[in-house]
Each structure stands twice: as C-alpha cells, then as structure tokens.
Amino acid sequence: MKKKLFIFGGGGHCISCFDIISSKQSWILSGIIEKEGYHNSSFKDIPIFPEYKLNTLINENHLFFLAIGKVGFCTLREQKFTLIKNTGISLESIIASTSYVSRSSKIMEGVTIMHQCLINANAVIGKNTIINTQSLIEHESIIGNHCHISTGVKVNGGVKIGDSTFVGSGSVIYEGINIGKNVSISAGSVVKRDLPSRTFYS
C-alpha cells in the first residue's frame, strides 16, 4: 500500500520540488502543512493543513518532507527541521529520477536532490541539505547539514563544506578546499582557497 506524503512549506522551493514529488510512484501526495490561512494557486487541488494540526497527521502510514528553501544566511529551514525532529517525525529524502547518485555515496535524512545532479563516488550529503538543479558533487566531497548547493554548482573532489553553508548558482569550488560553517558564497564565485566559518565570499 502506498503511503501518504505531507509537505512542510508551500513557497517557491516547494513549487520547484513539486514535479519531482508528484512523479514518484512510491507515495501519494496528500497535503501541504503551512500557516493558517495560507493559499497558493499552484496547489489548488492539494489539501492545506495548518501547522497546529500536525499531531493529527502523525501515523505509521504518513511520510513527511521539508520543502522550505535556504538563501544566504537564512536559518528558517534549519529551525523548521529541528522543530519537526523534536516531534519525533522522520523526514524523507527526495532524489529526482534525472539525477545520478553513486551507490557508494551517503545521503542523510531530509535531503533534496533536484534534476540532473551528479553525486559521485564516496560523497556524503548531510541532513536537511539541498543539492539544486544541475549541480555536481565530486568524489569524496563532504557536504554538511542544512546546506544549500544552488543551481549549476561544481564541487570538485575532496571538498569539505561545513554545516549551514550556502553556495550560490554557478560557483566552482576547487579540489580539496575546506569551507567552514555558516558561510555564504555568492553566485558565480570561484573558490580557490579555504574559507573560515561565518564569512561571506564573492
């Protein structure tokens, strides 16, 4: 029997994820969990559940996915992940069928891998991280928890990226680079040196 999937968050990132979610055959998309009074015409045929009714949705046949985006130093996605986990809910990871994920890689809880991504051998993708469209994570790279690797990013082999880091669209990170926690890298950057935690790079 297919399980029902409920999505936290109904904003722009949810719209981006919707095509991947709706094409999966392993579950039935059954609702969006948002603030009371939320409305989005993109989801007119999908039930909307206010956040305060979350406890009524928790049972063994229901699955949950976090579809809140992350830009720059924004911590909303990380905060929501922590709140959800405190209720005892496990979050699904969703991988687009157009992406390739090596069997030797490790994908943690609550990860989103969008269309046409490549996750190569022995890479690790941390909890609650987004790998956005057409991004490359090369061999043995480690991406921390709560990160957003934006569209068209190239992370070369052996790179380490700390928790809660944002890498802007089209950026290239050279092989073996270490990037700290809570770093924001602007779009189109070329990173050739290590970056300390809590910095902005452009």
Looking at the 3D structure of the chain, how many domains does it have?
A: 2
The answer to whether residues 52 and 98 belong to one domain is no
Check if the beta carbon of residue 170 is closer than 8 Å to that of residue 154: no
Q: Which of 115, 163, 119, 121 is nearest to 139 (CA)?
A: 121
CATH number of the CATH domain containing 125: 2.160.10.10
Q: Residue 56 contacts by C-beta under 8 Å, 6 or more apart in sequence?
A: none
Residue 109 has pLDDT above 90, yes or no: yes
Mean pLDDT within 21-40: 79
Q: Is residue 32 part of a domain?
A: yes
Say whether 13 sits in a helix, a strand or coil. helix
Confidence of residue 25 (pLDDT cuts 50, 70, 90): low
Q: How far is CA 136 from CA 8, 122, 154, 171, 183, in A?
A: 26, 13, 5, 11, 19
Q: 48 lies in which domain range?
A: 3-68
Looking at the structure, do residues 23 and 111 belong to the same domain, yes or no?
A: no
Q: Please report whether residue 83 resides in a domain.
A: no
Assess if residue 84 is contained within a domain.
Answer: no
- The 10s digit of each residue's pLDDT in 147-198 is 999 999 999 999 999 999 999 999 999 999 999 999 999 999 999 999 999 9
* Residue 73 domain flag: no
Residues 6 or more apart whose CB falls under 8 angstroms from that of 139 comprise: 120, 121, 122, 123, 157, 158
Mean pLDDT computed over every residue of the chain: 91
Tens-place pLDDT, residues 84-108: 999 889 999 999 999 999 999 999 9
Pairing verdict, β 200-201 and 160-161 = unpaired
Query: Which of these, 69, 185, 59, lies nearest to 133 by C-alpha position?
Result: 69
Domain end marker among 68, 84, 111: 68
Residue 1 predicted with pLDDT over 70: no
Is the same domain home to 107 and 14?
Answer: no
Q: What is the pLDDT of residue 170?
A: 98
